[in-house]
Structure 1
Amino acid sequence: MDSLGAVGAGAAIALENLFPPLPSEVILPLAGFAASQGKFSLLSALLWTTAGSVVGALALYWVGALLGRDRTVAVAARLPLVKTSDIEKTEAWFSRHGTKAVFFGRMIPIFRSMISIPAGIERMPLPVFLGLTTLGSLLWNSVFVLLGYGLGSRWHEVTDVVGLYSKAVLGVVALVVLAFVVIRLRKAGRAHKAGRIRKEDRTHKAGRGSHRARD
């Protein structure tokens, strides 16, 4: 930001979309602080960071579009505990709620980046995707840039609060994944047990049949 100004802030946010470990909750308040110091205008900070969000999201949209449904299903079929029906259910959900997912997903850590990929896979109309991404990103970015602008040298206090939000989201994701794995393992265990019982039953019946034939 010091060397490139508002353009640098936008470039950092574009990279944040592609590499989520780069936290927007640090970049955006810092951009607001830099604007408060007169390094660039507040409007430039808002416009360039939003442009960076859209560019990064668009790159991931095209990754999803190039991947396509067939490749996604093929990859899912090779993953342990994942079924093709899971992809079909996800597609059905996205067809009903995709617009809301793209808009509100821009305001949720992790999903901010990832939501662009299924939008590309499902080939959401590009104007719709760009409009929703721009609006969602503008809202998210404005909150943090303005907080950094208002707090000035205390801009880092924003990251402390948002860090709790990010950790809460990660915790929920971890619990959902854990529940998914446990449920699938239990179902697989029950299916294996039922298959073994059926096999033993068939073997037992076959044995009784051979005894009758000898008699």
Structure 2
Amino acid sequence: MTTAAPTDHGFTGLTGWAADLLLSVGDVGIGLLVLVEVVVPPIPSEAILPFAGYLTQTGSLSLVGLIVWSTVGAWLGGLVYYAAGRALGMERAVRMVAATRLITREDLDRGVTWFERHGRPSVLFGRMIPGVRSVISIPAGAARMGVVTFSVLTLVGSGLWNGMLIGVGAALGTEHERLEQYLGHLDLVVYGALGVAVAVLVGRRVHEARAARSATRSSQASPPPPSSPSTSSTPSRGTSS
């Protein structure tokens, strides 16, 4: 494993941060980033892996090492959600992950639907679909898919996806400006996605608070239900003549 000084890359922003980590830690760094990307979206492998591939052409990192470590990172990240689904069951695991606000309930439901529709192949191909690859492990664990089967499908799918993205960067060779332009656009997309996520989170909290206040006012304004007329159990006394 080879490393270079973090200041050698010349990138800035999110890509520059990833470059610093990769050049400081080496091949293992990409595995760490991919692991975090699977567990805590939306760290973008679409930005990190092509840059890592580019670094292999400068002699800073190993092509084989990057593919291996990125695939191991994706597998370990997948095991986190697999274990949650297996231990808690589908609904409880989905509720728990949705409560963290790291992944939306819509994305979780989409992953569940994908798994229910396609079964085992969804674990393989889901690793290549953004928004699905992070959550497909939950229904796989809840369905008690064998850990060996899950691991093989995850390793193969993640290896193909990561290898393709790393290969894109490697194919650019030393064309630093073209890669920087590509990653710069992705930086803007990622920052925009983060901004939208924050706005959605704030809007959801405001909507929930308003709904709770409205429900409270409605319950206070509603008159109590009329009580049923009580009947006397004492028989009426007649008058004597």
Q: Evaluate the alpha carbon distance shift between residue 54 and residue 73 of structure 1 in structure 2; reply closer, same or farther with a 3 A threshold.
A: closer
Equivalent residue for 2:179, pick from 155, 163, 166: 155
Q: Look up the equivalent residue of 2:134 and give its one-letter code.
A: S
Aligned residues: 152
Q: Evaluate the alpha carbon distance shift between residue 41 and residue 125 of structure 1 in structure 2; reply closer, same or farther with a 3 A threshold.
A: same
Equivalent residue for 2:37, pick from 16, 21, 24: 16
Matches of residues 193-208 of structure 1 in structure 2 within 5 Å?
none
1:122 aligns with 2:146: no
Matches of residues 1-215 of structure 1 in structure 2 within 5 Å?
1-69=22-90, 71=92, 94=115, 97-151=118-172, 152=174, 153=176, 154-156=178-180, 159=183, 160=185
Structure 1 unaligned blocks of 5 or more? 76-86, 168-215
Equivalent pair of 1:35/1:149 in contact (CA under 8 Å): yes
Q: Look up the equivalent residue of 1:114 and give its one-letter code.
A: V
| 2-structure distance, mates of 1:74, 1:3 | 37
| 1-structure distance, mates of 2:94, 2:171 | 47
| 2-structure distance, mates of 1:64, 1:110 | 17
> TM-score if structure 2 supplies the norm length?
0.56
| 2-structure distance, mates of 1:125, 1:100 | 14
Q: Look up the equivalent residue of 2:33 and give its one-letter code.
A: A
Equivalent pair of 1:50/1:137 in contact (CA under 8 Å): yes
Q: Report SS of the residue matched to 2:134.
A: helix
| 1-structure distance, mates of 2:152, 2:23 | 30
Q: Report SS of the residue matched to 2:89.
A: helix
Structure 2 unaligned blocks of 5 or more? 1-21, 97-108, 194-241
Q: Look up the equivalent residue of 1:58 and give its one-letter code.
A: L
CA RMSD of aligned residues (A): 2.9
Equivalent pair of 2:56/2:62 in contact (CA under 8 Å): yes
| 1-structure distance, mates of 2:94, 2:165 | 38
Q: Look up the equivalent residue of 1:100 and give its one-letter code.
A: P
| 1-structure distance, mates of 2:136, 2:33 | 19
More helix by share: 1
Q: Which has the higher contact order (CA 8 A, sep 6+)?
A: 1
Equivalent pair of 2:31/2:70 in contact (CA under 8 Å): yes
Q: Evaluate the alpha carbon distance shift between residue 157 and residue 121 of structure 1 in structure 2; reply closer, same or farther with a 3 A threshold.
A: farther
| 2-structure distance, mates of 1:15, 1:21 | 9
Shift of 1:139: 0.7
Q: Evaluate the alpha carbon distance shift between residue 61 and residue 36 of structure 1 in structure 2; reply closer, same or farther with a 3 A threshold.
A: same
Q: Look up the equivalent residue of 2:62 and give its one-letter code.
A: S
User: Which structure has the larger Rg over C-alpha atoms?
Assistant: 2
Deviations 1:80-112 (A, max 9, x none): xxxxxxx9xx68x74662211111110110101
